[in-house]
Amino acid sequence: MKLTDISYARAVMEKHGIAPQKRYGQNFLISDNVVSRIADTPKNGNEELGIIEIGPGIGTLTEKLATRYKKVIAVEIDPSLIPVLADTLSDFDNVKVIHADAMKTDFAALVKEEFGDMPVAVCANLPYYITSPVIMKLLETEGLFESITVMIQKEVADRLCASPNTEDYGAITAACAYYADIEKCFTVSPANFIPPPKVTSSVIRMNIHKTPPVTCESKENLFRVIRGAFAKRRKTLSNSLSGETNKLSKAQIEETLVSLGYRADVRGETLGLADFARISDAITL
Ligand code: SAM
């Protein structure tokens, strides 16, 4: 029986005496079509792909992943779901559930231990309360994963995929562009979950760059410049950046920007990753 069958999913929860927990961001998928499309997204024609899932819930996406990929490691924080998953996934010998907090998981060690040299992708319906920190943690593993497919709140997906000079463009857009090309795959309405969330969701696939798309002297300084550029939205870049350092005055920053060919009053939200890399090599925060 499929876990996307709402009566079956309810019966499983009743049998184990559980209900979706708000504090863990539990909105379980109940659409077979949506779950299949998410599970198909990491495919790259490579049958040998290993998958890390964050937050398997009652195992709905996990069972689809298990039929498509060689090995699935699912990291779940909620202790009450561990016996449920042992039950719902008992037919699969290529799935291992780990009871852990994804925010505290050492993914490099986990991948080495569980997958060895196998190419690995992430596929998850993420809990919305930790979307951005989980995505940054996964991206910062730089090259550990081939791709990262996640379902997230549509507004966050729009921010991650935004272009400069748009309302949605921000520090997280430029920071993520350093690590990956991000594809918006499809949107999912609240009716596809129990309980239905208040927001529309989007599935995105982040194709991890093998080498960063820009070169710069210090990645740490580049990220400080990106964060600083958006710290005071709608202010000029020189204004924002001078608020982040006492090493340089606003006038000195303006002078440097002009020497690089930018207007003295250029704003951060008009600049792309390549601009931030150039500026970062000229301005150390
Ligand atoms: N994959 C299931 C599905 O699609 O129906 C459940 C998705 S639900 C939106 C998010 C899942 O992430 C829940 O099972 C929740 O308990 C789990 N979770 C929440 N915070 C977590 C964390 N820090 N680490 C690991 N899992 C977490």
Judge contact between 164 and 271, C-beta under 8 A. Answer: yes
Q: Specify whether 13 is located in the same domain as 113.
A: yes
Checking if the pLDDT of 224 tops 70, the result is yes
The pLDDT value given to residue 47: 65
Confidence of residue 13 (pLDDT cuts 50, 70, 90): very high
Closest residue to atom 17 of ligand 1, CA basis? 55
- State the Cα–Cα distance between residues 16 and 81, nearest whole angstrom: 9
Q: Specify whether 10 is located in the same domain as 94.
A: yes
Confidence of residue 46 (pLDDT cuts 50, 70, 90): low
Closest residue to atom 20 of ligand 1, CA basis? 24
Q: Specify whether 66 is located in the same domain as 204.
A: yes
Checking if the pLDDT of 2 tops 90, the result is no
Q: Specify whether 142 is located in the same domain as 204.
A: yes
Q: Specify whether 186 is located in the same domain as 264.
A: no
The pLDDT value given to residue 89: 97
Confidence of residue 142 (pLDDT cuts 50, 70, 90): confident
Residue 155 one-letter amino acid:
E
Please count the other Cβ atoms lying within 10 Å of the Cβ belonging to residue 219.
15
Six-digit token string for 233? 């939205």
Last residue of a domain, one of 178, 208, 238: 208
Please count the other Cβ atoms lying within 10 Å of the Cβ belonging to residue 251.
11
Six-digit token string for 157? 């997906």
The pLDDT value given to residue 1: 60
Q: Specify whether 176 is located in the same domain as 274.
A: no
Confidence of residue 48 (pLDDT cuts 50, 70, 90): confident
CA of 260 to the centre of ligand 1 (A): 46
CATH number at residue 233: 1.10.8.100
Query: Which atom of ligand 1 sits closest to the CA of residue 30?
Result: 5
pLDDT mean over 217-241: 93
Please report how the helices 273-282 and 171-179 are oriented relative to each other, as an axis angle in degrees rounded to 10. 90
In the chain, which residue ranges form alpha helices assigned H by DSSP?
6-15, 32-40, 60-68, 82-88, 107-115, 131-139, 154-160, 171-179, 219-229, 237-242, 250-259, 273-282
In a domain, 33, yes or no: yes
In a domain, 1, yes or no: no
Ligand 1 binding residues, C-beta < 6 A: 24-29, 54-57, 60-61, 75-78, 81, 101-103, 125, 127, 130
In a domain, 213, yes or no: no
Closest residue to atom 8 of ligand 1, CA basis? 26
In a domain, 169, yes or no: yes
Q: What's the domain range around 225?
A: 219-282
Q: Mean pLDDT over all residues of the chain?
A: 95
Tens digits of per-residue pLDDT, 57-101?
Answer: 999 999 999 999 999 999 999 999 999 999 999 999 999 999 999
Query: Which atom of ligand 1 sits closest to the CA of residue 103?
Result: 23
Checking if the pLDDT of 233 tops 80, the result is no
Please count the other Cβ atoms lying within 10 Å of the Cβ belonging to residue 266.
20
Q: Specify whether 44 is located in the same domain as 21.
A: yes
How many structural domains compose the chain? 2
Q: Which residue's structure tokens are 């009871």?
A: 99
Q: Specify whether 32 is located in the same domain as 101.
A: yes
Residues 6+ apart with CB under 8 A from 79: 99
Checking if the pLDDT of 234 tops 90, the result is no
Task: Identify which of 6, 23, 24 to mutate to test ligand 1's pocket (most ligand atoms within 8 A of the CB).
Answer: 24
Confidence of residue 44 (pLDDT cuts 50, 70, 90): confident
CA of 110 to the centre of ligand 1 (A): 18
pLDDT mean over 213-238: 93
- State the Cα–Cα distance between residues 284 and 260, nearest whole angstrom: 14
